[in-house]
Amino acid sequence: MATLTAAKRLVIKIGSALLVDRESGALRDEWLKALAADVAWLKGQGKDVVLVSSGSIALGRRVLNLPQSDLALEQSQAAAAVGQIRLARAYQEALNPYDITTGQVLVTLEDSENRRRYLNTRATLNQLIGLGVVPIVNENDTVATDEIRYGDNDRLAAQIAVTVGADQLILLSDVDGFYSANPQQDSSALRFDIIEHITPQIEAMAGEGVSGLSKGGMVTKLMAAKMAIAGGCTMAITEGSVMRPLTALEKGANATWFLAQSDPHQARKRWIHSMKPRGEITVDAGAVTALHAGNSLLPAGVSTIKGAFGRGDPVAILGPDGHKLGQGLSRYTAAEALQIKGHRLEQIEDLLGYSGRGALIHRDDMAL
Ligand code: GLU
């Protein structure tokens, strides 16, 4: 059985319907304060926490006196601009009493589809988490056009969970789990406690969404679950509207858990292995030992570079005898790698004219 206690790094998705009162369009302050207490409780156990929060459009809409539904794209974008600043501030104020620093991170679909931007997002989020910050993530609705939008924070949250290597994703929702049919329409609908495999039968059960404010119905939640579990992250759907929903979950509140089959680390290694390399890096005997000991690949240990790869591209790593050791994502372009190979990190700035990014392949981006 999955539990919150087991998690080391958690991504929590908060839907608009929880944060913004449907009637008045006002922020639900008391609920947010209680959520902040839950976040502090989790952080106090040494867990990393990332929040993915919706609500910018719902909040901004009220301020701008825009209609409750059917906004044109540019109207939602304007609403998001006005609402996001309030949303971020609300989190900052709610978490401040616990001495928790928040940081706002706005992403678009392109940030996960383009490998270079993906690596950048990952590095920034990891840096923030490492500094003890709770990142508050949302889609950059103000610049994202229809074609390049997620449109729902369920999938965005799953993408963020995989990006930061979270081992759990909790979707705080207006339903307490995944049902065999829509429970509001079908009284015989049954809730699943655990789903180990998302079969076509399970997919057929995900009808339409039930909430007016939030975008994501069960369909997007299942898509999120698929992304998460493929990335080694267990996902739960639980009712978020109660006060302190995470404490409630820990105490056994209704939920559906989608179990990941592997851990985030293994899933990432598999992903790195699955890519077609765009170049080859041959390393010396010293580097082979260092890599097997779990270290990053430094330019000093590199003897030859082949191929025309860009930053973030997969490259094969070969031993001195030409035997393939594994592969990894290069932090430099092939041209840069050629210039810095055989040199120490301190020399990179002189060689390239800028400070560079340390190791040629970071150990987290390498699968041997
Ligand atoms: N990004 C949107 C917002 O903050 C919400 C999308 C969703 O409801 O899932 O308003």
Ligand 1 centroid vs 58 CA: distance in angstroms? 8
pLDDT of amino acid 1: 63
Ligand 1 atom at minimal distance to the Cα of residue 59: 10
Alpha-carbon distance of 205 to 207, in angstroms, equals: 6
pLDDT of amino acid 216: 54
pLDDT band at residue 267 under the 50/70/90 scheme: confident
Whether ligand 1 lies within 6 angstroms of the CB of 153 is answered as yes
pLDDT of amino acid 204: 87
Ligand 1: which residue has its CA nearest to atom 5? 54
pLDDT of amino acid 213: 41
Pair 191, 179: CB distance under 8 Å: yes
% of the chain residues with pLDDT over 70: 97
Q: Dump pLDDT digits (tens) for 102-119.
A: 999 999 888 887 888 888
Ligand 1: which residue has its CA nearest to atom 4? 54
What integer best gives the mean pLDDT of the chain? 92
Q: Is the pLDDT higher at 145 or at 154? A: 154
Ligand 1 atom at minimal distance to the Cα of residue 79: 10
pLDDT of amino acid 279: 96
pLDDT band at residue 185 under the 50/70/90 scheme: confident
pLDDT of amino acid 212: 41
Q: Could you tell me which residues are beta bridge partners of residue 103?
A: 135
Q: What six digits make up the tokens of 213?
A: 């404010």
Q: Dump pLDDT digits (tens) for 55-87.
A: 999 999 999 999 887 889 899 999 999 999 999
Whether ligand 1 lies within 6 angstroms of the CB of 140 is answered as no
Q: Is the pLDDT higher at 264 or at 207? A: 264
Ligand 1 atom at minimal distance to the Cα of residue 139: 1
Ligand 1: which residue has its CA nearest to atom 6? 152
Alpha-carbon distance of 12 to 93, in angstroms, equals: 18
Q: Residue 107 burial (CB < 10 Å; 0-12/13-18/19+)?
A: buried
- Which stretches does DSSP call E strand in the chain? 9-14, 48-53, 102-107, 134-139, 168-173, 194-195, 234-239, 255-258, 279-283, 302-307, 314-318, 324-329, 366-367
Q: What six digits make up the tokens of 364?
A: 């987290």
Ligand 1 centroid vs 70 CA: distance in angstroms? 14
pLDDT band at residue 29 under the 50/70/90 scheme: very high
Element (H, E) at 78: helix 73-95
Whether ligand 1 lies within 6 angstroms of the CB of 209 is answered as no
Taking the model in full, what pTM does it have?
0.86
Q: Dump pLDDT digits (tens) for 341-350.
A: 999 999 999 9
Ligand 1 atom at minimal distance to the Cα of residue 87: 4
Pocket test for ligand 1, best of 77, 153, 159, 173 (most atoms within 8 A of CB): 153
Closest by CA position to 242, among listed 231, 232, 234, 250: 250
Alpha-carbon distance of 112 to 323, in angstroms, equals: 32
